[in-house]
Structure 1
């Protein structure tokens, strides 16, 4: 528990700073290029490398490559170093080749992702894409370096490196504001302006990749090109990764159905469509990304090593400890989202061209998503049990079941609910999907390792919910009091979040500490110790 807690804390801190600087980066870029034609062109060009990276390597890193690296470290006389060098060779040359081809065919790729763009808008998008598409190679090398670091229990660099990218991009956006005379006018933008934006964006990813490569060098990894690829297990990797691609395709189908229905809802009820769903989803992901992803990243290499040793008891212990550690933060966060969602979204989005009522509606959708925070996190942790075995087939079948449940419930919400409530219904369909998915996945994963400590996890989560109710009630009381006195506006929303959210979480920590919830006591003790040493 202590090792997992320390690793999770390091990664959570890095992820928190990364998310905050990421929000600042988005704000600076929006101020620099706007959200009209130039903003559209930039965002399409920026998104394409991310999509290609996910399709080529992103999806197989945690599910396939990390477990295979761990097995090579256990199996090979050199501790897997040659195996890692072969993987890095494949990643470097393979992705560099893909990036080169993508740059050559940038116009066709832009046309594939856009609808009837012509003139200056298309020309800007193509030029930006040619500057940005080389990111694919740096994304891949950096991600593989991060995966190798994770297998060595080095978690800080992969979580902190994106901060460097964000700082570079904030500087690029600020510089564009100073030197460009075009601003957001796509007709006036020059080649130099586009080069600054495009090359600056690629420079940010290069800096992130360099930080990870340097960290890898410091732990003893030495890269040299190895063309003797016979021992790298490409056939096994391809067979295993095939199911990961199936999983990705099914997940994209589910996303497509939700997007189509949410867009249709927006046509029927402006302000209650896909944008509301997307913004609420991004905020919902924040506590999951900071806490659950950090613990998942620490868990997977350890569980993979335990599976390689045939030590299923260690797998059960690692999972249950990780689940309770995640739950100690996710449980109160979910309840507070359900109470404070509208106040949070009004404070964040209630400006400019978005009306306060539309901002509050996003908060209503976020409240529904709050119900899903625990089952979604449980589901994601459970998938890592299968990935530790190198099993990507079972998650693909589970994803197919999720897709059927999600599509069916989403369609039901679309045809039965009033237009204003459709997107909230889609969020509720998401919640039910992951409750069902987590239940089925638990049964299958438990059978795989001979139990997952279900009684311990259920008892721990129950105590956490009991401890969280007073804090959520306090937040609700603050909400009613402040809203009754000041109404719901940006100022009152800030007061509600600071007083209701802050005091609510502190009350949860105090109650849980008094109830001897060990995970909360460990977190409180670690924080108190750091404060004491700092003093």
Structure 2
């Protein structure tokens, strides 16, 4: 990648890394406050997750895929695109506001559908949480709109650093909750349960979660004034020349609807476990629910969010410019570079998560060893699809750069069929195993999306560097495998294979094990990267090394 692109990717990756670390801290604190396999924890997770899923369902794909190409085109206008972007932003913000109003008004029936297998008391608390959390939809939309304007103007850093503010506010909220109401203590009933929950609990927990999203969006107004655009509300949308964009937006919306309805179905299946948990708790058997599935999903997608998404966001501008110039070779070159460089991080991280799944699961277990082991098992399953998540995303960016939203739609239809079929199968097994089936569904659908995308790209672009991509991935996989052997040895020495070992004594010892073992494995990985001559590792670190050398 070009130096400027690599530096932008590094800045974005740094922001995402800080945000994800704080996100882990927030999640860890939530497990302290509510537990990992409790009814209140699952109910809050359902209500706090739905705003993001609903936002992506109705608008996220459109904003991400459509805004950047249109803003880049508008930059060629005499006014630098100020008039067009003002109208486009006004239209987008008005639309997402209308959607938010409708969703908030329908909070009770939405929870009724998503939590059909919850008990009446669980559904009531979920609906109350939803009324507090659903306004997040508007601010997720505002954050994306402002962020994509900044990205299209080359100001990448703020978009990735803004979630840091969100997590800081949310962490402060959870700490306040623990300080005011105490940490979760298991009993019959637990300290924080449906029977003991109060409006004050809801205000502090759900209110702070929504406030964090509000701050994440509004902070982007600061850099927006410095990108050279004179923006103001404009409600005259006729004659904007959005005919082609409207078609693209329609297909993108359809893709988002199909994709997120499928994942909403998975959330519904996972919520059903919460309703069935009581019978198992009477037998002393903890089972995972929505919260644990979301923790596993958050962990497995970390490499994509930090490295893959940062690289893809920068490359998308290059892809859009190459596409507008009918430069298929340049488009393929950008894709190949992104896939090869990203693989250095995504493959290793997926393998490391599998090796240290037990201790990592223990960190988010609320201190329960059995729950920690179960979360680790779910994490190991879902991590198998981690590298494919980034590959599929980058391939999808090629289609949108070509302003082709039909192909992603058809690919998503095939994936959705698989997701729903697998989710239904998971709902039919014993509730103790449902979450593991859902975790496997995430992994398999990513693999399917890569296969289908590759088939189309091969016909459209011809040779887009497949041999180099496969060669790099193979060498990175070998380096990861041998480093995994070293990591497994370190885990054994730290007592990671028995509940009586150091790794399982507490969340703190589990965290220490993951850090120590991870460092040992990373050092071994670096050595094996040199042995297998993976030059993409240097490209990944180049912007950081250059900045340090300047200092």
Q: Give the shorter-chain TM-score range.
A: 0.7 to 0.9
- From 244, 256, 266, the counterpart of 2:252: 244
Distance 2:100 2:237 in 1: 22
Structure 1 residues 512 and 489: alpha-carbon distance in aligned structure 2, compared to 1, 3 A threshold: same
Asked if structure 2 preserves the Cα contact closer than 8 Å seen for 1:124 and 1:194, the reply is: no
Following the alignment from structure 1 to structure 2, what is the Cα–Cα distance between the partners of residues 213 and 361? 43
> Matches of 1:519 and 1:510 in 2, distance apart?
14
Structure 2 unaligned segments of length 5 or more: list them: 183-190
Kindly state the Cα deviation for residue 231 of structure 1 after the two structures are TM-superposed. 3.4
Match of 1:216 in 2: 224
Give the Cα–Cα distance (whole angstroms) in 1 for the partners of residues 424 and 176 of structure 2.
Answer: 47
Matched, 1:442 2:454: yes
Q: Distance in 1 between matches of 2:348 and 2:200?
A: 49
Whether contact under 8 Å (1:88, 1:141) holds in the other structure is no
Match of 1:87?
Answer: 88
Partners of 2:181 and 2:363 in 1: CA distance: 31
Partner Cα distance (1:261, 1:196) in 2:
28
SS of the equivalent of 2:239 reads helix
Aligned mates of 2:269, 2:46 — CA distance in 1: 22
Aligned residue number for residue 61 of structure 1: 63
**Which residue is equivalent to 1:170?**
171
Deviation of 1:326 after TM superposition, in Å, equals 0.6
1:40-119 matched pairs, under 5 angstroms: 46-74=48-76, 76-100=77-101
Distance, in Å, in 2 between the alignment partners of 1:517 and 1:277 is 34
CA distance, structure 1, for counterparts of residue 526 and residue 240 of structure 2: 48
Ranges in structure 1 where 5+ consecutive residues have no aligned partner: none
1:141-187 CA distance string (max 9 Å, x none): 22111001111222110111111122223334444556689x95888
- 1:501 counterpart = 2:502: no
In the TM superposition, residue 312 of structure 1 has moved relative to its aligned partner by: 1.9
- For 1:477-496, what aligned pairs fall within 5 Å after superposition? 477-483=489-495, 487=501, 489-490=504-505, 493-494=510-511, 496=513
Distance 1:26 1:401 in 2: 33
Deviation at 1:345, TM superposition (A): 1.1
> What is the CA–CA distance in structure 2 between the aligned matches of 1:317 and 1:343, rounded to whole Å?
40
The CA distance in 1 between the partners of 2:422 and 2:54, in whole Å, is 30
1:515-526 pair list within 5 angstroms: 515-526=532-543
* Deviates most, 392-401 or 257-266: 257-266
**Range with greater deviation from structure 2 (10-19 or 132-141):** 132-141
Q: Aligned pair in 2 of structure 1 residues 459, 110: CA closer, same or farther (>3 Å)? A: closer
Following superposition, the deviation at residue 323 of structure 1 comes to 0.5
Q: Is the 8 A contact 2:58 2:253 kept in 1?
A: no
RMSD: 3.9
Counterparts in 2 of 1:402 and 1:196: CA distance versus 1, 3 Å: closer
1:391 positional shift: 1.3
Question: What is the CA-CA distance between 1:12 and the residue it aligns to?
Answer: 1.5
Deviations along 1:345-370, one digit per CA (max 9) or x if unpaired, are 1233261xx4x133213222322333
Aligned to 1:386: 399
* Matched length: 528
Q: Distance in 2 between matches of 1:366 and 1:196?
A: 30
Instruction: Tell me, in whole angstroms, the C-alpha distance in 2 between the residues paired with 1:498 and 1:33.
Output: 25
Distance 1:274 1:202, change over 3 A: closer
Decide whether aligned partners of structure 1 residues 247 and 357 sit closer, same or farther in structure 2, where only a CA change above 3 A counts: same
**For the residues of structure 1 that align with 2:29 and 2:383, how far apart are their CA atoms?**
29
Q: 2:343 matched to which residue of 1?
A: 327
- Residues 1:512 and 2:529 aligned together: yes
Equivalent residue of 1:232, what SS? coil
Whole-angstrom distance in 2 between the partners of 1:8 and 1:357: 39
Helix, strand or coil: the match of 2:356?
Answer: helix
Spell out, residue by residue over 1:97-126, the C-alpha distance to the aligned partner (whole angstroms, 9 max, x if none): 444555566566665655588799848955
2:482 corresponds to 1:467: no
Alpha-carbon contact 1:64-1:392 (below 8 Å) kept: no
Q: Which moved more, 1:235-244 or 1:156-165?
A: 235-244
Q: What TM-score, normalized by structure 1, do the two folds share?
A: 0.84
Residue of 378, 388, 399 corresponding to 1:365: 378
Deviation (angstroms), 1:79: 3.3
Given the superposition, is the C-alpha separation of residues 39 and 426 from structure 1 closer, same or farther in structure 2, using an over 3 Å criterion? closer
Does residue 8 in structure 1 map to residue 21 in structure 2? Answer: no
Shift of 1:237: 3.5
Corresponding position of 1:137: 138
Alpha-carbon deviation of 1:301? 2.1
- C-alpha distance in structure 2 between counterparts of 1:240 and 1:529, whole Å: 40
CA distance in 1, matches of 2:419, 2:360: 27
SS at match of 1:226: coil
Distance 1:63 1:124, change over 3 A: closer
The equivalences for 1:290-301 within 5 A come to 290-301=306-317
Name the counterpart of 2:469: 457
How many angstroms apart in 2 are the aligned matches of 1:387 and 1:481?
48
Stretch moving more, 437-446 or 128-137: 128-137
Shift of 1:333: 1.4
Distance 2:225 2:402 in 1: 28
Q: How many angstroms does 1:14 deviate by? A: 0.9
Instruction: Give 1:319 deviation, angstroms.
Output: 0.7
> Deviation per CA, 1:264-311, whole angstroms, max 9, x where unpaired?
889698555544544322221122221111112212122112111222
Report what 2:149 is aligned to: 148
TM-score, normalised via structure 2 length: 0.82
* Contact 2:28–2:364 (8 Å) recurs in 1: no
Distance 2:473 2:539 in 1: 16
